[in-house]
Amino acid sequence: MTYQSERDERAPGVVSVQGASYDTTEARPGRAFLARGTGRLTSKTWFVLVAGAILPILALTTWTLVSANDLVPSSRLPSPADVWFAGVDLAERGLLASDVAISVQRVLLGFGIGAALGLSVGAIVGLSRIGDILLSPSLAALRAVPSLAWVPLLILWFKIGEDSKVILIAIGAFFPVYTTVSAALRHVDRQLVEAGRAFGLGGPRLFATVQLPAVIPSVISGLRLALAQAWLFLVAAELIASSMGLGFRLVDSQNNGRIDRIFFVIILLAVLGKLSDSLVGLFERWIKRRWT
CATH of the domain at 248: 1.10.3720.10
Q: Are residues 169 and 241 in the same domain?
A: yes
Q: Are residues 117 and 258 in the same domain?
A: yes
Q: Are residues 168 and 278 in the same domain?
A: yes
* The pLDDT of residue 292: 55
Q: How many CB atoms lie within 10 A of CB 126?
A: 23
Residues 12, 28: Cα–Cα separation, whole Å: 15
Q: Report the number of distinct structural domains present in the chain.
A: 3
Q: Are residues 206 and 174 in the same domain?
A: yes
Provide the residue range defining the domain that includes 39.
35-71
Q: Are residues 258 and 124 in the same domain?
A: yes
Q: Are residues 229 and 280 in the same domain?
A: yes
Do you know the residue count of the chain? Answer: 292
Q: Are residues 143 and 22 in the same domain?
A: no
Indicate the residue among 71, 93, 124 that finishes a domain.
71
* The pLDDT of residue 268: 93
* The one-letter amino acid at 146: P
Q: Are residues 24 and 88 in the same domain?
A: no
Q: Are residues 62 and 84 in the same domain?
A: no
Residue 28 has pLDDT above 60, yes or no: no
Q: Which of 45-49, 70-74, 142-146 is the least confident region? A: 45-49
pLDDT-derived band at 20 (thresholds 50, 70, 90) equals: very low
Give backbone dihedrals phi and psi of 34, rounded to 5 degrees, phi first: -100, 145
Indicate the residue among 71, 96, 131 that finishes a domain.
71
Q: DSSP secondary structure string, the chain?
A: ----EEE-TTSTTEEEETTEEEE-SPPPTT---BPTTT-PBPHHHHHHHHHHHHHHHHHHHHHHHHHHTTSS-TTTS--HHHHHHHHHHHHHTTHHHHHHHHHHHHHHHHHHHHHHHHHHHHHHHHH-HHHHHHHHHHHHHHHTS-HHHHHHHHHHHH-SSHHHHHHHHHHHHHHHHHHHHHHHHHTS-HHHHHHHHHTT--HHHHIIIIIHHHTHHHHHHHHHHHHHHHHHHHHHHHHHS-SSSHHHHHHHHHHTT-HHHHHHHHHHHHHHHHHHHHHHHHHHHHHHHHH-
Q: What is the mean pLDDT of residues 156-161?
A: 83
Q: Are residues 60 and 131 in the same domain?
A: no
Task: Report angle CA 250, 81, 58 to the nearest 5 degrees.
Answer: 95
* The one-letter amino acid at 62: T
* The one-letter amino acid at 202: G
Q: Are residues 139 and 97 in the same domain?
A: yes
Q: Are residues 144 and 61 in the same domain?
A: no
**Tens of pLDDT, residues 73-94:** 888 888 899 999 999 999 999 8
pLDDT-derived band at 115 (thresholds 50, 70, 90) equals: very high
Q: Are 42 and 35 in contact (CB under 8 A)?
A: yes
Give backbone dihedrals phi and psi of 217, rounded to 5 degrees, phi first: -60, -40
Say which residue, 139 or 216, is predicted with more confidence. Answer: 139
